[in-house]
Structure 1
Amino acid sequence: MASPLCHFLGRMPCAHRRASYGFRRNCVPTALFSNPLSRIHSMSFPARPKIVVCKDLGPAMPLLTDREDIDVVPWTEDRPCDRAWLLENIAGAAGVVVCFQDMVDRELVNAAGPNLRVVSTISVGHEHIDLRIMGEHKIQVGYTPDILTDAVADSAVMLALMATRAAGQSYSFVKNNEWPAFNWTPFAFCGPQLSTTPFSPTRTAGFLGFGRIAHAVLTRLAAFGITHCVYTPRPGAAHQTTRDAQLKAKHNLAAVTPVDLGTLARDSDILFVLAPGGPSTRHLINEVFLRQMKPTSVLVNNGRGSVVDSAALALALKNKWIWAAGLDVVDEEPQVTAEHPLVREPRCVVLPHIGSAAIETRAEMATLTAQNVLAGVLGGQLPMALDYAPLV
């Protein structure tokens, strides 16, 4: 019996299968490569709600395309959904599936008309959705939290290891054919160790944002011998003494302590930025903050690019205020080229926002996205609806 993972690979968009896994079309039964979009009804019936899909949901597409009670209009090209196409095709739609590349604003809502009931995004972040407009028109917003906690936590620790151990520099060294002429020295490509050692018997993990993902990161760091945890509490929230005591005992830590921003900067050996985006967190990590960090400290950002001032971080790396950085998100993304100051910094590892890019995680996200839009257009309760009233 085929595993769920094999089934997923068989239903991935064809270009992604070939590019990512090297599969050839004649290596497996043709049925595995059948495009679910080909089964979409070509005729439109006004009585059936229309769903516009801006991104192929892979193995979750049949949840939409196999139904007889809806019409599905998909964007089928292997590139970001064209804005003009979306504005034209969303007219009369009851639901739309989007990703972070698709702006959901007044223009789009006006183009859709009064039938639009739900926007379902395959993401946790919702900066691309104008929540005020959603509120004005009473449009539900579905999103995909919780599912990606473990995948993002894994990638955060991966970035911490890559940054501390100069993995980016070392990999480039080999790719650029420099290894054959390498003049080895005892401290070449060295960086601070993530785990505790006799030279460094304590290690403090700092968290800007201390929710589910941060807790999952802390669980992973415990195996490396992290001894202390400091974090910034949610503004206005009471100190969760019981929870912190439980985390301390669970991970055999010396202390779990809520601190202010200045203390977070000064005490963290590794700082994990996992705060949400938005005006209240924009550039919390700035030049003032970075100047307070240890010269051996490492910054990892798996939260939102807007939280970290890119220019200030590049300056901190250049002037060695901190040791290194590992970034899955950047303020200017996706307009991040090889000439970007952070990409040019040898001790900065930059990845293209792939924190949740585990096959199993993305399959679950796609499924929840489809379930959200279906529930919205058919009058049911969204499995995961964003409560955006407090955010507008």
Structure 2
Amino acid sequence: MSLLEATPELDLVVWPDDRSCDRTWLLGNIPGSTGLVVMLTEKVDSEILDRAGPSLKVVSTMSVGYEHIDLRAAAQRGLRVGYTPDVLTDAVADLSVMLALMTSRNAGIAMAVAKDGQWPNHPWSPFALCGPQLSTMASSPARKAGFLGFGRIAQATLARLVSFGITHCLYSSNPSSPTNHERDAELAKRYNLQSVTKVDIDELARESDFIFVLAPGGHDTYHIINENFLKQMRRTSILINASRGTLVDSDALARALREGWIWGAGLDVVEGEPNVTLDHPLVKEPRCIILPHIGSATLETRRAMAVRAAQNVIAGVLGGNMPAEVDLSGYR
């Protein structure tokens, strides 16, 4: 806010509450606006853009994802769209590893035993609350981390996993993207890995001990983690999703957990969020760790995202270079 308030060319109209903006309020206040700052919770569609009128120049979202913005409608109106990549890479990578550890060590079940006062009824036994170990041991010298999507956050997650003794990295990305052999060889050398290899999605499912879903949302990746994928995973494998809930078929994942196709799942995102209640099939699964979309929720990261969103809208309004602008050339 200090950046926006210090820009004399701007008159600010601000939603006053610390919660999702009411759409009726937005529709009532947006006419004549030059710039619009939104969150993931605001659906920026033709109705909003038409109500804003021809004065609107830029939409700036405080998020790395922009599926909530109709990019085609924005491009057709000659608008610019800003977003906040890079600044949340480390926070989401940290959380991805945290989810892997929590899931593999049955943290959800274990915490419930303590918090519900059931510890006296769960005496120690040799294999109580055991799960597959993230780090390598002499008895399991090979440990394979798989990534669906291999962008900035996935590579930052891989860097964190190296200290646990991960030996192989497998990844699957956009099939139309050429394999970057030089980069993969450099990553393998930097992290002393036996291999960094691009594979198809079926091999990713079959060969990975831990699978990290860190790909963008959208039509092309909708339910890419489905029954067929889950059935190919190992019974001791763990699925982590810190990207978009729409990539994972929740019903198929719940069945996979219930019937033991995989060991467990750690989710920061769930399709249909925030409408995820006690009767949701994944909430009912004890080996599913669910967090309420807190991947970027560090004080440092959220401040950086806010700054980037403000810088984007200021540049968009004044005709300058936006720090992070979505390429809309393919939507015109």
TM class by shorter-chain length? over 0.9
User: 1:143, 1:384 within 8 Å by CA — same for their partners in 2?
Assistant: yes
Identity of aligned residues (%): 58
SS at match of 2:289: strand
The 5 A counterparts of 1:305-344 are 305-344=245-284
Per-residue CA deviation, residues 226-251 of structure 1 (Å, 9 max, x unaligned), is 01111113222222111111111111
Could you say which structure has the greater relative contact order, defined with CA pairs below 8 angstroms and 6 or more residues apart? 2
The match for 1:304 among 230, 244, 267 is 244
User: Hey, what does 2:219 align to over in structure 1?
Assistant: 279
The match for 1:143 among 83, 88, 111 is 83
RMSD (Å), alpha carbons: 1.1
TM-score scaled by length of structure 1: 0.83
User: 2:267, 2:289 within 8 Å by CA — same for their partners in 1?
Assistant: yes
- Between 1:90-99 and 1:172-181, the stretch displaced more is 172-181
User: Hey, what does 1:174 align to over in structure 2?
Assistant: 114
2:213 alignment partner AA? V
User: Hey, what does 2:42 align to over in structure 1?
Assistant: 102
Q: CA deviation at 1:391?
A: 5.8
Distance 2:323 2:66 in 1: 17
SS at match of 1:344: coil
Distance 1:388 1:288 in 2: 34
Distance 1:107 1:238 in 2: 38
User: Hey, what does 1:12 align to over in structure 2?
Assistant: none
Per-residue CA deviation, residues 191-247 of structure 1 (Å, 9 max, x unaligned), is 000001122111000000011111111111110000111111322222211111111
TM-score scaled by length of structure 2: 0.98
Q: CA deviation at 1:78?
A: 2.3
1:354 alignment partner AA? I
Q: CA deviation at 1:255?
A: 1.1
2:316 alignment partner AA? G
User: 1:300, 1:327 within 8 Å by CA — same for their partners in 2?
Assistant: yes
The match for 2:8 among 68, 89, 94 is 68
2:56 alignment partner AA? L
The match for 1:365 among 285, 291, 305 is 305
Aligned length: 332
Unpaired runs of at least 5, structure 1: 1-60
The 5 A counterparts of 1:1-150 are 61-150=1-90
Distance 2:316 2:230 in 1: 44
Unpaired runs of at least 5, structure 2: none
User: 1:233, 1:239 within 8 Å by CA — same for their partners in 2?
Assistant: no
User: 1:152, 1:213 within 8 Å by CA — same for their partners in 2?
Assistant: yes
User: Hey, what does 1:213 align to over in structure 2?
Assistant: 153
Distance 1:105 1:294 in 2: 42
Distance 1:207 1:390 in 2: 27
Q: CA deviation at 1:181?
A: 2.8
User: Hey, what does 1:31 align to over in structure 2?
Assistant: none
SS at match of 1:322: coil
Distance 1:89 1:192 in 2: 53
